[in-house]
Chain A
Amino acid sequence: MIRLLLAIIFWAGAVQAEEIVMSLSQDEVAITTVFDGSDILIYGAIKRDRPTQDLAPLEVVISVSGPLQPVIVRHKERRFGIWVNTSAVTVDAAPSFYAVASTGPLPDVLSETEDLRHSVSIGRAIRSVGADVMNSSDYSEALIRIRAGDDLYQRRDSNVDFDEETLFSTSISLPANLVEGDYPTRIFLTRDKEVVDRYDTVIHVQKVGLERWLYNLSRQQPMVYGFLSLLIAVAAGWSASAAFAMLRR
């Protein structure tokens, strides 16, 4: 493995001084009936064509994002002695899951400008695509706070291992309540808080087996799905009653 990477590092001719070569422990996550979250190892190496001794150290930032969904964020206030939803902001597109890991504290490895350009930090990942309403920051902060509490938004500073400024690796844990879809994964290589290279890939998350079948049936043939649900319900009720009547005799 390392020998292969070294081979790539020495032989490949590149336009850029430094380039990312990466891999995933798995690029597909299958959601089965007993799915209980999954850990994905993201690893790779830096390929360079000239020595870099007298330059500032390299840093790595890795982000994994879930599919974008519109979300309504509602705010409660006290009216006539009870708590009522008084106002709401629709965030046009917020990732259902977002994790960002870096070699050091995020502000130390990525500048504000670069964060704005690439939408890396959790706040930027939402705001960059979301609607900007009056004091909408309260609402997007609430969105981040609630999702972070559910482990759906993870900020993992200093969580990327980076050996000899060449080999990097980190582990992202996907929670059990995953939404199906493509999870864009990005790796940024930074020096002096500036991005010097970027690598994009995708992790596919999808339901398989029974989960897949039921989901498709409910969407494509809702009438059949509904009748099947009712049939199961009536049959279960009937047979349980019959079984208990037998036991009583």
Chain B
Amino acid sequence: MQIYLPIAEVSVNAFLLLGVGGLVGILSGMFGVGGGFLITPLLFLAGIPPAVAVATSANQIVASSVSALMAHLRRRTVDMRMGSVLLVGGLIGSALGVFLFNMLKALGQVDLLVKLCYVVFLGTVGGLMLWESINAMLRARRTGRAATRRKHNWVHNLPIKMKFRVSGLYISVLPPLMVGLLVGVLAAIMGVGGGFIMVPAMIYLLGMPTKVVVGTSLFQIIFVTAFTTMLHATTNYTVDMVLALLLIFGGVIGAQFGTRIGARLKAEQLRILLAILVLAVCAQLAFELALRPSELFTLEPLAARR
């Protein structure tokens, strides 16, 4: 069934969009990533103009994250305190990021920089996660039970300590603030929620338990993507409500299934799967940059003169 999107001004198959939403929803529920790094390239493939794809996926991420967060709230796997600290850093970071983005835009080549950012960050994060998870699994097999990862590093020696009861941590607020800030900057530049960077940062840098990490990252993502949606809606007019509705419908259902699958898998397995997914997207983007494109020219229509 073809459906005409009022803002994107293209006609697309409705079931295709529902499927894209559903797929990303499942991943969102399983891993606590917003799915922006997946949904945006998928929408490009479906023929949606890039500007609309980026803005509308932010709107869809709000919905699927709310749906997944509710499930996590019921299981009490959200550290509100940690989430709020991350959010403060995140909002400052995204404001900084928007400023940086506009500067890069003025210099041109913003597309390339965004893609390179994706390749570098997805590659590093995915590689590290895969390496760590395989090691942890091997260790667990040798000793017979999952190894505890309560290491003390420089992070635990910083001032302004705060108790995060849900995470079972007593650490300084500075590292979470910095993580939030960094993720905010990257989120604004790359047009994603930033979950795929925040989740590993929370596990490896802050030493939070994996079960709490997903819900807490969802909590932060909701606010950052809502902020991004408003920014796009008021400055570029590129949020397509009909497109968002279709993606949301598929997404909220997918997210519920995703949370249930995630609850059944072991933490180490969950991390290996996320690592493989992140690396696959990274490889796809790297190939795109390295292979000769079939069409060397690209078109970018500007606002119509009416």
Which residues of A are in contact with B by a Cβ distance under 8 Å? 31-37, 67-78, 81-85, 93, 96, 139, 142-143, 145-147, 176-181, 207, 210-212, 214-215, 218-219, 222-223, 225-230, 232-234, 236-242, 244-245
Contact = CB atoms under 8 A, between A and B. Distances in A.
Contacts of A73: 297-300
Contacts of B108: 85
A47 to B, nearest CB: 34
Contacts of B11: 35-37, 176-177
B66 A238 contact: yes
7 contacts: A35-B2, A69-B303, A72-B302, A142-B297, A143-B299, A236-B245, A244-B256
Closest 10 CB pairs of A and B: A237-B66, A226-B233, A176-B11, A240-B252, A241-B70, A142-B297, A233-B63, A237-B67, A233-B62, A82-B289
A145 B296 CA distance: 11
A147 B255 CA distance: 38
Contacts of B69: 237
Given A223-B234, A225-B239, A241-B70, A139 B297 contact: yes
Interface string B262-280: 0000000000000000000
Given A237-B64, A237-B252, A70 B292 contact: no
Given A143-B299, A225-B241, A234 B4 contact: no
Given A67-B306, A215-B7, A232-B241, A237 B297 contact: no
Contact of B296 (A32, A71, A76, A236): A76
A232 B112 contact: no
Interface in B45-70: 47, 59-60, 62-70
A219 B242 contact: no
Contact of A222 (B74, B234, B297): B234
Nearest to A138: B297
Interface of B: 1-4, 6-7, 9-11, 47, 59-60, 62-71, 74, 108-109, 111-112, 226, 229-230, 233-234, 237, 239, 241-242, 244-245, 248-249, 252-253, 255-256, 289-293, 295-306
A232 B66 CA distance: 11
Contacts of B305: 67-70, 93
Nearest to A216: B6
A237 B63 contact: yes
B70 A242 contact: yes
Contacts of B3: 33-34
A227 B301 CA distance: 27
Given A76-B293, A84-B112, A177-B10, A229 B241 contact: yes
A238 B66 CA distance: 6
Nearest to B71: A241
B295 to A, nearest CB: 7
A7 B80 CA distance: 83
A223 B292 CA distance: 42
B4 A240 contact: no
A8 to B, nearest CB: 35
Contact of A34 (B4, B62, B252, B292): B4
A26 B226 CA distance: 43
B254 to A, nearest CB: 10
Given A82-B290, A207-B6, A229-B229, A75 B296 contact: yes
